[in-house]
């Protein structure tokens, strides 16, 4: 029995069924490569779901964490605070979009960041309603689930959601939803379903993650900014997956040239260590009562040290430019592949920076989803030594999230595997249909 199979058997007996996982059991990793417990090598185009933007075990990150571990690993910021937390808050205040006074809180997960941003918005406005978007993913906590615009698996079987959370269609022209359509629904919602004076916040991912890497057009984000300004609504940018240089900007909202009132971030912030943050307008961040926000592990000193190193690496290695370079190479190859005869199953290729996806359809006339082909391509790629992930509300999109530090020869090797995997999956489906 292989080491991998042995661990799979143990997992079945020991781990809750609802905790989804792949069949790759990691033994070690370096930059954009990972080796499993049987010694098989993979190119990692998942990056821990956009966490390892600076690659696995970047030397600067590892050195910063080792140095911090020699001093202390945990005190709880509420009990014995430390300067590195303050310094990181100062850096994030300066780095996020918006020419206004800002403040930051550090927590641990993306869901915590979202929850605390909503709490700040409610405390500041004295209102309770929140507007989110179809296809959104904002976490697995109760408020996070309510904000999610995807039922299965995030809301399924978990009962009633918190009230006064409403959803608007996210613009997606590939599926016939224009910016004008989405704004029309939003304006009708504010006339017919909830008084704008009851809406505390509007939260949106500038590029949807689990929803399928759908990109919010700049004009759409600018329109949301105007609507929020008109009605005194707090605009929250969920940059948990799209932020920290992933899209070619430090924050994806920068592509639209507008600033949100609050920004949530996590994933790539600390290079593999658990850390998240809410950064935004000082008066909104200050609205919560003293002691009302925080957490025992919030702003863990090891993760904070890692985050300082990550921001240094992004600046010194120009990872925003690298994200664009890597993403352009991937997008060009996929577009070329989609144009080939026999590749009509690739219905759409989209993305910003190194946040690229392609959507699989049964035919380009109807754009009906092909989730079976999607899963087959993911499995074929894994068998050939490449880790990629599916996403999308219709389970028919494959997302590519290479570390921004991935060498170009490795990018090309991964693209060769993707091409071969798509061809093999399409051919197998054709044979099965005969």
Q: How many residues does the chain have?
A: 434
- pLDDT value, residue 378: 98
Q: What is the mean pLDDT of each run of 10 residues along the chain (434 residues)?
A: 94 93 95 98 98 98 98 98 98 98 98 98 98 96 93 87 95 94 97 97 97 97 98 98 98 97 98 98 97 96 98 98 98 97 95 98 95 98 98 96 98 98 94 82
Provide CATH 3.40.640.10 ranges for the chain.
72-316
Letter string b/e over residues 67-85, b meaning 16 or more CB atoms within 10 A of that residue's CB:
ebeeeeeeeebeeeebebb
> What's the CATH code, domain 3-57+318-433?
3.90.1150.10
- pLDDT value, residue 129: 98
- pLDDT value, residue 150: 86
Provide CATH 3.90.1150.10 ranges for the chain.
3-57+318-433
Q: CA 421, CA 37: separation in Å to the nearest integer?
A: 23
Q: CA 352, CA 280: separation in Å to the nearest integer?
A: 24
- pLDDT value, residue 155: 87
pTM, two decimals, is 0.96
Cα-to-chain-centroid distance, residue 14 = 28
**72-316, what's its fold?**
3.40.640
- pLDDT value, residue 430: 86
Q: CA 250, CA 82: separation in Å to the nearest integer?
A: 26
């Amino acid at each position: 029995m292989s080491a991998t199979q042995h661990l799979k058997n143990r997992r079945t007996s020991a781990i809750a069924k609802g905790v989804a996982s792949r069949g790759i059991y990691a033994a070690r990793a370096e930059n954009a490569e990972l080796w499993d417990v049987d010694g098989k090598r993979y190119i990692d185009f998942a990056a821990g779901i956009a966490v390892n933007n600076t690659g696995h075990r970047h030397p600067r990150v590892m050195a910063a964490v080792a140095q911090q571990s020699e001093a202390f690993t945990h005190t709880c910021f509420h009990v014995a605070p430390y300067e590195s937390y303050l310094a990181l808050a100062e850096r994030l205040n300066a780095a996020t979009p918006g020419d206004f006074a800002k403040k930051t809180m550090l927590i641990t997960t993306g869901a915590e960041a979202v929850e605390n941003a909503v709490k700040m918005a409610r405390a500041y406005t004295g209102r309770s309603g929140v507007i989110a978007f179809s296809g959104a993913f904002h976490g697995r906590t109760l408020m996070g689930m309510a904000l999610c615009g995807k039922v299965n698996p995030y809301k399924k079987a978990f009962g009633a959601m918190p009230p006064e959370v409403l959803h608007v269609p996210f613009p997606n022209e590939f599926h016939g939803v224009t910016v004008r359509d989405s704004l029309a629904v939003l304006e009708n919602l504010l006339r017919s379903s909830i008084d704008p004076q009851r809406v505390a916040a509007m939260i949106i991912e500038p590029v949807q993650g689990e929803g399928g890497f759908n990109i919010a057009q700049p004009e759409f984000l600018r329109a949301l900014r105007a609507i929020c300004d008109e009605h005194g609504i707090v605009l929250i940018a969920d940059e948990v997956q799209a932020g920290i240089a992933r899209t070619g900007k430090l924050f994806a909202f920068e592509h639209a040239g507008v600033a949100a009132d609050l920004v949530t971030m996590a994933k790539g912030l600390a290079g593999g260590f658990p850390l998240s943050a809410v950064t935004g307008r000082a008066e909104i961040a200050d609205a919560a009562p003293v002691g009302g926000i925080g957490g025992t592990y919030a702003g863990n000193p090891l993760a904070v040290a890692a985050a300082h190193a990550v921001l240094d690496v992004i600046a010194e290695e120009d990872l925003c430019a690298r994200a664009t370079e890597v993403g352009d190479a991937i997008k060009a190859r996929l577009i070329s592949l989609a144009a080939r005869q026999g590749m009509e199953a690739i219905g759409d290729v989209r993305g910003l920076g190194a946040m690229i996806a392609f959507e699989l359809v049964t035919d380009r006339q109807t754009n009906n989803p092909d989730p079976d082909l999607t899963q087959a391509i993911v499995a074929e790629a894994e068998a050939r030594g490449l880790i990629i992930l599916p996403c999308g509300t219709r389970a028919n999109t494959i997302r590519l999230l290479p570390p921004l530090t991935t060498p170009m020869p490795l990018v090309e090797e991964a693209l060769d595997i993707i091409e071969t995997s798509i061809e093999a999956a399409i051919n197998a489906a054709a044979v099965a249909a005969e």
